[in-house]
Amino acid sequence: MSKVLGLNGNAAAAHAMRQINPHVVAAYPITPQTDCVERFAEFVSEGLVDTEFVTVESEHSALSACIGAAAAGGRVMTATSSQGLALMWEMLYIAASMRLPIVMMVVNRALSGNINIHCDHSDTMGARDAGWIQLFSENAQEVYDNMIQAVRIAEDMRVRLPVMVTQDGFIISHAVERVELLDDDAVKNFVGPYRPLYPLLDVRNPVTYGPLDLFDYYFEHKRSEIEAIDNCLPVIEEVGKEFGKLSGRSYGLLEEYRLEDAEYTVVALGSTCGTAKEAVDRLRDRGKKVGLLKIRCFRPFPKDEVIRALAPRKGVAVLDRSVVFGGFGGPVFTEIRSALYDLPSRPLVIDFYYGLGGRDVYVEDIEKAFARIEEVVRAGRVEKHIDYLGLRE
Amino acid sequence: MSKLKSWKELPLGGLILEAGNARTYKTGDWRTERPQVDKAKCINCFFCWAYCPDASVIVDADRGTMEGFDYDHCKGCGICASVCPKQAITMIPER
Ligand code: SF4
Ligand code: SF4
């Protein structure tokens, strides 16, 4: 029997962590993630979990402790945000290259400077090349569901990679919503017992993690890391389907919203997808053939599925909630436009930077994005590839 | 060194699964000069043994004799040749 509660995204994540009952959690508090770790610390002190909770002095140490614990052979989780994720940067790559199935909840928050605590995706996008799987959530329910699936994905013997589950700062992390929790036992069975691989605590079979690796092997190791992350797309889909059987909520790599006959499409990640769905509904009511492509799994990038979903469209407006300074568009735009390049006839693609530092995005903003891509398609060419939504000129 | 492996043959995560296999790693393979001792000149003072930064001078402690070099690990730095009071060590270029 599942249970319906009013929870914010942080609490939803904390409950998932409680039900997963990891061996080790090492975390450092940072707004807006604090609430999640605080709640989890309560579960620890109430004896509701068996977790060894390590209170470290920084995020660099948090992920370092997680790496050590995961290499030792434990199921390990952590959570962070913004500057915290930035401070973890060097350890992120190490966790992935050692193929440690750590699950980390990231509350998306802008990076300094100036100091801002509100949502954008610059923290997670800054870590997009680190070798972690990245799952984005649209609401608190998806945060909960993604956390549970992340454990299965990370620990799958075909994957063995760390996973980030993201949620938008404050918009999801602090807004109370209806969240359906599975039974504790159902989650326990779904994630299953932890199966360690080459644990350091197995002293009869000693192994070395992270040795010096120079010009003769480093390249080959990176090649196998590329293979590992590319190969996990089918596992993410498999776990999403299996989770659907358990919960009634199936997950894919993408979500297509009213896309079947859509001529114009917005592509977005995270909570903005909810706003975009409302914009799609309103425009559909006015007879516009529009739809939304929501990217749930950004890393690995589901290129083939994106091509399939976008190839028949006339125009695509990508919404990027983080900036690539000096780049040709945001991280989502760059991937999408590049994926479509080989098509014999491809949709026109434009990019909008939006929502930086928590700037609100309204249904009307998304409607503007649709209006613009329609104009671009009518003109038959893109004059301005990158534009802004909700910015004062 | 054994034949280099392809990326498909490597253990996951760049791990080393065999304990103590550093023993098989010959660290002297990038040496450009090798020390050679002329035992006719050598007085077994062990200066070379004491100064070698790589523990690559082989001595027989029981007999008190300097026996030669461990070429698997000697880096060819020439310190032994430079400290030898009898100029018994010559550095020979590796081809
Ligand atoms: S050349 Fe250097 S490394 Fe080699 S034996 Fe002499 S002192 Fe040791
Ligand atoms: S330093 Fe010269 S004389 Fe002394 S043991 Fe070495 S080779 Fe012989």
Map out the domains of chain B with their CATH numbers.
27-93 (3.30.70.20)
Are A203 and A284 contained in the same domain? no
224-243 in A: which are within 8 Å (CB) of B?
224, 227-228
- Average pLDDT of the residues in A326-346: 97
Query: Best mutation site among A224, A230, A231 for testing chain B: the one with the most B CBs within 10 Å?
Result: A224
Are A258 and A218 contained in the same domain? no
The string of pLDDT tens digits covering residues A239-250 is 999 999 999 999
Candidate from B10, B16, B19 with C-beta closest to A220:
B10
Ligand 2 mean position, distance from CA B55 (Å): 14
- Taking 80 as the threshold, does the pLDDT of residue A26 lie above it? yes
pLDDT of residue A173: 98
Q: Which of A121-130, A216-225, B19-28, B66-75 has the lowest mean pLDDT?
A: B19-28
Q: Is A225:A146 a contact under the CB 8 Å cutoff? A: no
The string of pLDDT tens digits covering residues B37-53 is 999 999 999 999 999 99
Is the CB of B54 within 6 Å of ligand 1?
A: yes
Ligand 2 atom showing the smallest separation from residue B44 Cα: 5
Are A83 and A212 contained in the same domain? yes
Query: What are the two backbone dihedrals, phi and then psi, of residue B55, each rounded to the nearest 5 degrees?
Result: 50, 40
In whole angstroms, what is the distance from residue A268 CA to residue A258 CA?
14
Q: Is B94:B57 a contact under the CB 8 Å cutoff? A: no
Q: Write down which residue in A247, A268, A283 finishes a domain.
A: A247
Sign, CA torsion B28/B34/B39/B44:
negative
Is the CB of B46 within 6 Å of ligand 2?
A: yes
**Average predicted confidence (pLDDT) for chain A:** 98
Any chain B CB within 8 A of the CB of A220? yes
pLDDT of residue B24: 86
Are A269 and A219 contained in the same domain? no
Are A225 and A148 contained in the same domain? yes
* ipTM, 2 dp: 0.86
Q: Write down which residue in A232, A247, A262 finishes a domain.
A: A247
Are A260 and A380 contained in the same domain? yes
- Average pLDDT of the residues in A89-102: 98
Domain region containing A344: 254-389
Residues from chain B contacting residue A223 (CB–CB below 8 Å): 7
Q: Write down which residue in A194, A223, A247 finishes a domain.
A: A247
Structural domains of chain A, count: 2
Which ligand number lies closest to the CA of residue B74?
A: 1
CATH number reported for the structural domain that contains residue A307 in this entry: 3.40.50.920
Question: How far apart are the CA of A61 and the nearest CA of chain B, in angstroms?
Answer: 21
Are A242 and A272 contained in the same domain? no
Are A274 and A301 contained in the same domain? yes
Using alpha carbons only, what angle is made at residue A351 by residues A319 and A136, rounded to the nearest 5 degrees? Answer: 30
Residues from chain B contacting residue A219 (CB–CB below 8 Å): 7
- What residue type is A131 in one-letter code? G
In whole angstroms, what is the distance from residue A233 CA to residue A30 CA?
31
- Taking 70 as the threshold, does the pLDDT of residue A223 lie above it? yes
- Taking 60 as the threshold, does the pLDDT of residue B1 lie above it? no
Are A206 and A146 contained in the same domain? yes
Are A345 and A238 contained in the same domain? no
* Residue of chain A minimizing CA distance to B4: A216
In whole angstroms, what is the distance from residue B21 CA to residue A75 CA?
29
Which ligand number lies closest to the CA of residue B83?
A: 2
Mutation test residue for ligand 1: of B48, B73, B77, the one with most atoms within 8 Å of CB: B77
Rounded to the nearest angstrom, the gap between the alpha carbon of residue A367 and the centroid of all alpha carbons in its chain is 25
Are A234 and A322 contained in the same domain? no
CATH number reported for the structural domain that contains residue A80 in this entry: 3.40.50.970
- Taking 90 as the threshold, does the pLDDT of residue B2 lie above it? no
- Average pLDDT of the residues in B15-20: 92
Question: In the beta sheet, which residues pair with residue A178?
Answer: A6
**Is A197–B12 a contact, with Cβ atoms under 8 angstroms apart?**
yes
Are A16 and A161 contained in the same domain? yes
